[in-house]
Chains A and B, each alone.
Chain A
Amino acid sequence: MSVAPVELTRPETAEQAAIDEPWLTIVWNDPINLMDHVTYVFQRVFGYPKSKAEKLMLDVHQKGKAVVASGAREAMERNAETLHGYGLWATVSHDK
């Protein structure tokens, strides 16, 4: 017979890993890209539902920039590269 342990070491989840490596992909507002294009690209590149893609697009448009993804540095750099291919003005930065 055994009893449940009082304390468990929490397994490291993907979410935890993202918190440990707080690199960000940021998209900046520009006057040329079409709002619908930006929404489409967020859906296409990140697989975000339309509502989330639209909200991020509006953040970019109204606030001047938006964090569109976070995680490991390499992944954020790949995002920036992909977004540059679609003509978006994307940068990578460390969340300090």
Chain B
Amino acid sequence: MTGFRRVGDGVAARFVRPEAAIIRDLVEQVVELVEPSTEADRSGPDPEADELARMVGLGPDEDAELPDDPVLARLLPDAYRDDPDAASEFRRFTESGLRSGKVTAAMTLLETLPPGGGRIKLTPDQAEAWLRSLNDVRLALGTRLGVTDDFDALDEHTEVDDPRYAYVQVYQWLAYLQGSLVAALS
């Protein structure tokens, strides 16, 4: 594991197969979580109006609230803290675009990371998509693990037989990987 380094105006890194498999699995989980709900999931009275709303980037009214799932709430946060009406209005206009932006970044990562691993070279745009997608994965994983400012405590108190142990190690590795990507881009 060497992380990213700058190559020309892009970046490059090498991944062994298990590393590629872990990243792909986590990215796919985030996609499943943030992917806008499909037509089949919708039960609105007027599918055509729904379709139109989706085309112009407006989510249905009932979706305009902070998601209950803490991971989704972290990935799609409220933009107003003390004004529920403004927060809801903002969400109606932006959440669909935010979701599809996250899916697009994740898809770029999946397209540029072969399941078998190997050396990969990214253009600046692809590197930017990796940065967003890796960060989303860390936000999701960190929220599930209950990461606080005192990460060392979580690390020290998670024993090897704790089901979270492997994920704590992965979380740390992803932080290293993302840090190397930021450094290569800066």
Residues of A within 8 A of B (CB): 30-34, 36-37, 40, 43, 50, 77, 80-81, 84-87, 89-93
Distance in angstroms between the alpha carbons of A85 and B76 in the assembled complex: 9
Task: Collect the chain A residues with CB atoms within 8 Å of residue B98's CB.
Answer: 81, 84-85
Contact B139 A90 (CB under 8 A): no
Residue B14 CB within 8 A of the other chain = no
Task: Collect the chain A residues with CB atoms within 8 Å of residue B147's CB.
Answer: 31-32
Residues of B within 8 A of A (CB): 74-82, 86, 90, 94, 97-98, 101-102, 131-132, 135-136, 138-139, 142-143, 147-149, 151, 175, 178-179, 182-183, 185-186
Distance in angstroms between the alpha carbons of A86 and B129 in the assembled complex: 10
Contact B182 A36 (CB under 8 A): yes
Could you tell me the dominant secondary structure of chain A's interface residues? mixed
Minimum CB–CB distance for A52 against chain B, Å:
14
Task: Collect the chain B residues with CB atoms within 8 Å of residue A86's CB.
Answer: 131-132, 135
* A-B CB contacts (within 8 Å), total count: 75
In this complex, what residue of A is CB-closest to B87?
Answer: A91
**A85-B132 CB under 8 A given contacts A32-B143, A40-B185:** yes
Task: Collect the chain A residues with CB atoms within 8 Å of residue B148's CB.
Answer: 31
- Add 15 more A-B contacts to A37-B131, A84-B79 (CB < 8 A): A31-B142, A31-B148, A32-B138, A32-B147, A37-B135, A37-B182, A40-B131, A40-B185, A84-B76, A85-B102, A86-B132, A91-B78, A92-B79, A92-B80, A93-B81
In this complex, what residue of A is CB-closest to B143?
Answer: A32
Contact A31 B149 (CB under 8 A): yes
Q: Sample 22 A-B pairs with CB under 8 A, ordered by A number.
A: A31-B142, A32-B138, A32-B143, A33-B139, A36-B179, A36-B183, A37-B131, A37-B178, A40-B182, A40-B185, A40-B186, A77-B79, A81-B79, A81-B97, A84-B76, A84-B79, A85-B101, A86-B132, A87-B132, A89-B74, A91-B80, A93-B81
Task: Collect the chain B residues with CB atoms within 8 Å of residue A30's CB.
Answer: 74
Q: Kindly name the residue among A33, A43, A92 whose own CB sees the greatest number of chain B CB atoms within 10 A.
A: A92
Distance in angstroms between the alpha carbons of A50 and B183 in the assembled complex: 13
Task: Collect the chain A residues with CB atoms within 8 Å of residue B139's CB.
Answer: 32-33, 87
